[in-house]
Structure 1
Amino acid sequence: MSTALDASGVAVPATAGAATPARLAARTRGLRKVYGSTVAVDGVDLDVPEGSVLGMLGPNGSGKTTTIRMLLGLVRPTEGEAQLLGHTMPDEAGRALPDVGALVEGPGFHPFLSGRENLLRLAAAEPRLSRAKIAGAVRDALERVGLTGAAGRRYRGYSLGMKQRLGLAAALLVPRRMVVLDEPTNGLDPAGTREVREIIAELHSAGVTVLVSSHLLAEVEATCTHVAVLHGGTVVAQGELAELLDSGNPALLVSTPDGAAAVNALRERRITSRLTPEGVRVDLTATTPPEVLETLVRAGVAVHEANRARTGLEDLFARLTQPEPDSVPEDGEAGV
């Protein structure tokens, strides 16, 4: 995918216009974190627009969680700077964090206390929650994440999904300006995943900024307004989700009963294509739909349907973080 760099060195889609920059709820510049000889994060420039739902994507080890930890002031960066709600982190964490709810790397609670008792302890430490409102806030948070029935059970007896729900409840004890969720659907069943999606939608409707780190591309595509893709400890692309998807290479999706024959026929004409679950996806960068169809018909490949294909998030993610499969030579010949 083609990307460009703005004046601050941030990767943006090449199709992005010169619109007025959005206000930012969070911002990093040149963020770098080194553990011994391991570079976990290397020069991350991240913008989280105020009021957005930004999905942070990347393979394991790409630096997502480390970036989030530096953004929240849990880890001091080796180099660079991070700002959260206009405050420099970690030096001004005390001013920013009361307005931020976070679930990072799985929740940690007292194992011999119940879910309700754990939340009551956390609620008592909330600087903007009066003592008279603690019980009600805990009750509402438990109900919001579907844990009312299990609130009296000890935390050590919770399943992984229930622990995730309790961590989410802790992040939502009081109204927040920003909520940060690191793999919030980890361990949840499909019903729980839908509930998390609904909670994110509610937060977005209320104007809350949400930063979600996830490996579930379908969930990100369904819930997020913006995306940042990390690879090798740095941001390789970021921007509005719709713009990033529209900026991909033009393609044609061909429905055929013989996908392998179709790909072989197109490769003989040096037309890039590959099999997908939806059909044969043909890159139109150097060809046209009529040429593709003529090639297939001449090769005797039956074509049931052909439509312009929009880049999906899975395809975009693969192109940004993995080598193109068609770029690998086959049988000693150049890939096409």
Structure 2
Amino acid sequence: MTSTTDLAVTVRGLRKSYGGRAVVDGLDLDVPAGQVVGLIGANGAGKTTTVECLQGLRRPDAGEMRVLGLDPRRDAARLRRLVGSQLQSSALPDRLRVREAVALFAEAGSRDPATGSARRGDDLLAQFGLAERRRSPFAGLSGGEQQRLFLVLALLNRPRLVILDELTQGLDPAARREVWSAVAQLRDEGTTVLLVTHELAEAEALCDHVVAMRSGRVLDAGSPAELVARHAARATTAFTLPGAADALAAVRALPGVRTATAQGDLVTVEGDRRSIAHVGAWLVARGPDAVPADLRVDVPDLESALLTLLDAPEHDPGPAGATSAVGDPATSSLIGATS
């Protein structure tokens, strides 16, 4: 069981409505220190409103929050010096040069002279591959460079928590990978990261834990692998094999296989992820001529798990403040989720 001292963020019963419509509806959430936790879900799930409340940018209607031991409603000024953030609407003036932006943000957020020093900014620019772009205006940076600059600005004052909202939206694959590498580096250095994303491959690649949300509530939470195991479709392996019908009994006996069917010479195998390796090993063991050239594998992923969750009927979340243990099958988990 994770103690409160191991948590960077604790939320209980958070509620926020606009025009009578609940956007965040009794949310419970724990974010372990030193990990990457992702908030996932469709548009309107309440993810952005949640992180805005955590930063003191919006005032919730009800609920309790602690971010690094502080209440964002009462301690917003202190919290800004401990939290780095990049929100959906992040932007800088087109003509502002990279070095000017670094100097401006270092001065604004400095807790002490050493933290806000020019050397810290130079080190971060080098770390994120922007040292040669110090004189470039913001508008002259590529999309990936702009996002890496936002990371530099978020990290200038050595925050203990970094909040990133749709960090890689609109980036090409190469730029997205650059930013992923930067986020992974933050975690490796012990920084807590709260990541809001619609990119499920991003969440699967980066997050230690994910929280799936709908209508301001938690649907389920745990590691990406746990959500996939609970909610994603089965792994499917398909291939052509002469005399397929005669081989079905052997295929069905392989570990992890749930079903194996044949349509002519086309064999379709469904099972858990283990079944993929065992089917492949079985084919190889039959000899090099038995390995099919048309082998196809469909592996369940976080996207299919989330779609399953979102397709499920909505139900009463139960008593306010109730939490379900997710991830640890014992008594509790690193992330509490509203039942």
Shorter-chain TM-score category? 0.7 to 0.9
Instruction: Measure the CA separation in 1 of the matches of 2:166 and 2:113.
Output: 30
Q: Who is 2:83 aligned against?
A: 100
Is 1:203 matched with 2:186?
yes
TM-score by length of 2: 0.72
Distance 1:123 1:163, change over 3 A: same
Q: Who is 1:109 aligned against?
A: 92
4+ residue segments displaced more than 6 Å: none
Q: CA deviation at 1:96?
A: 2.6
Q: CA deviation at 1:117?
A: 0.8
Instruction: Measure the CA separation in 2 of the matches of 1:41 and 1:301.
Output: 52
For residues 1-336 of structure 1, what are the structure 2 equivalents within 5 Å?
19-21=1-3, 23-130=6-113, 134-248=117-231, 251=234, 253-256=236-239, 289=257, 292-293=259-260, 296-297=261-262, 300=264, 302-303=266-267, 307-309=271-273, 311-323=300-312
**More off after superposition, 160-169 vs 223-232:** 160-169
Distance 1:29 1:192, change over 3 A: same
- Post-superposition Cα deviations, 1:5-51, rounded to whole Å, max 9, x if no partner, equal xxxxxxxxxxxxxx455721111111111122332222211111111
- Amino acid of the structure 1 residue aligned with 2:63: G
Instruction: Measure the CA separation in 2 of the matches of 1:164 and 1:46.
Output: 27
- Amino acid of the structure 2 residue aligned with 1:118: A
- Amino acid of the structure 2 residue aligned with 1:164: Q
SS of equivalent to 2:25: strand
CA contact (8 A) 1:129 1:174 kept: no
Q: Who is 2:296 aligned against?
A: none
Q: Which runs of 5+ in 1 are unaligned?
A: 1-18, 258-287, 325-336
- Amino acid of the structure 1 residue aligned with 2:301: G
CA contact (8 A) 1:107 1:164 kept: no
Q: Who is 1:13 aligned against?
A: none
Distance 1:309 1:107, change over 3 A: same
Q: CA deviation at 1:202?
A: 1.6
Distance 1:229 1:249, change over 3 A: closer
- Post-superposition Cα deviations, 1:262-316, rounded to whole Å, max 9, x if no partner, equal xxxxxxxxxxxxxxxxxxxxxxxxxx956x33xx34x657216555237521121
- Post-superposition Cα deviations, 1:247-271, rounded to whole Å, max 9, x if no partner, equal 34783524157xxxxxxxxxxxxxx
Distance 1:20 1:135, change over 3 A: closer
- Post-superposition Cα deviations, 1:99-157, rounded to whole Å, max 9, x if no partner, equal 21111123232343212112211111223241695221222222333333332233344
Q: CA deviation at 1:204?
A: 1.2
- Amino acid of the structure 1 residue aligned with 2:210: V
Distance 1:184 1:144, change over 3 A: farther
Q: Who is 1:10 aligned against?
A: none
Aligned length: 273
Instruction: Measure the CA separation in 2 of the matches of 1:72 and 1:255.
Output: 49
Instruction: Measure the CA separation in 2 of the matches of 1:227 and 1:93.
Output: 26
What root-mean-square deviation, in Å, do the aligned CA atoms of Structure 1 and Structure 2 show? 2.8
CA contact (8 A) 1:115 1:154 kept: yes
CA contact (8 A) 1:105 1:183 kept: yes
Distance 1:289 1:192, change over 3 A: closer
**More off after superposition, 245-254 vs 164-173:** 245-254
SS of equivalent to 1:74: coil
CA contact (8 A) 2:180 2:206 kept: yes
